Amino acid sequence: MGADLKAWRKKKYGTVTLEMVGNHIVIVYFDNPPVNAGNIQMVRELDEIWLGIREDGDIRCSIVSGVDTPYKGKHYFCAGADVKAWSGRDRGINEFEDYTIPRPMIFPRHAYECEACYNTGKPSIAMVNGTAVGFGADWAIQCDITLAAEDARIGWVYILRGIAPYEGGTWLLPRRIGVNRAMELLTTGEIIDAQEAFRLGIYNKIYPHDQLREATLEYAQWYAEKGPPLALGATRSLVYMGLQQGLREHLEAVEMAQGNLWPDREEAMLAWVEKRDPKYKYGGAKR
């Protein structure tokens, strides 16, 4: 018998909760009361979950959010790192000795989650349902699309803790909003409101808090149930590849990608001719 590629769905995680929506959408919730702060356990669990999403052929879209339990009258997507849990790491990193995935250890492991999320090969949406700072701010922009509640403040407060952003913010944020404004946010720790984040392009759209979930699921259902999965995956990969390529190199990658999209193309065109909705097939991400 082969490996159970859905085993990751059945596990009980300590800091993360999963919710399946239909057959093709999974919501990954930060679940670490009271403010969903990140810690070492969460990093490890997210690694396992992203690998599971990659290998599970039935998953076509992931959503990242925080368990929505207000604390002192405010909502939290993820209030950064659990400072108490992380504050001692510079005095010894023995807690990482049993970590089985080989990584550079300049900073212990923690900085690679944006790569793990990207490597699923599938669209992802951040459903920012409250304050997102530090670790949470980086997660808000790691996903392909970021939708937020009107009360979802965001800020890269790492600098106020004497560290540089961990989870890819120094790569991601300048590409979203430009170097000069990104530099200001990253080096001052300023926390901005949702309206300003939307104006800058950090958030794609903002919604009243009680409408955010419905709006996010509308996006996810396009990716998971209506869109051509091979073409969506290729488009996503080409966008990120293009950020690091010259024009000729990128056009060559585009040509190569087109050769793998025939099943989607054939079904989409046939459906158009027959005046029906397309019925795409998807076998999961390819190694």
What CATH number corresponds to the domain at position 267? Answer: 1.10.12
Residue 171: Cβ within 10 Å count: 14
Looking at the structure, do residues 253 and 151 belong to the same domain, yes or no?
A: no
Cα distances (angstroms) measured from residue 214 to each of 44, 62, 196: 29, 15, 23
Domain span holding position 264:
228-274
Q: Do 135 and 236 belong to one domain?
A: no
Distance CA 276, CA 272 (A): 6
Domain assignment present for residue 36? The answer is: yes
Is there a contact between 78 and 38 (Cβ–Cβ < 8 Å)?
A: yes
- Residue 146 covered by a domain: yes
Regarding whether 170 and 233 lie in a shared domain, the answer is: no
Domain boundary residue among 191, 224, 257? 224
Total domain count for the chain?
2
pLDDT at 32: 93
Do both 38 and 72 map to the same domain?
Answer: yes
| Position 113 in a domain | yes
- Shared domain for 21 and 72, answered yes or no, is yes
Residues 217 and 235 in one domain: no
Do residue 43 and residue 166 come from a single domain?
Answer: yes
Note the pLDDT of residue 91.
47
Residue 158 in any domain: the answer is yes
pLDDT in the model for residue 98: 52
Is residue 12 assigned to a domain? yes
pTM (predicted TM-score)? 0.85
Tell me, yes or no, whether 270 and 184 share the same domain: no
Whether residues 185 and 263 fall in one domain: no
Same domain membership, residue 139 and residue 233: no
Residue 269 maps to a domain:
yes
In contact, 132 and 124? CB cutoff 8 Å:
no
Task: Give the pLDDT of the chain (287 residues) as one tens digit per residue.
Answer: 567 888 899 899 999 999 999 989 999 999 999 999 988 888 889 989 999 999 998 999 999 999 998 889 899 999 987 776 655 554 444 454 555 555 444 444 455 566 777 788 899 999 999 999 998 999 999 999 999 999 999 999 989 888 888 778 888 899 999 999 999 999 999 999 999 999 999 999 999 999 999 999 999 999 988 888 888 888 888 888 888 888 889 888 888 888 778 788 788 888 888 888 888 876 544 43
Q: Is 267 helix (H, G, I), strand (E, B) or coil?
A: helix
pLDDT of residue 93: 47
The strands making up 154-155's β-sheet, listed across from edge to edge, are 76-78, 131-133, 154-155, 191-192
Q: According to the model, what pLDDT value does residue 2 have?
A: 61
Residue 163: what are its φ and ψ, rounded to 5°? -135, 165
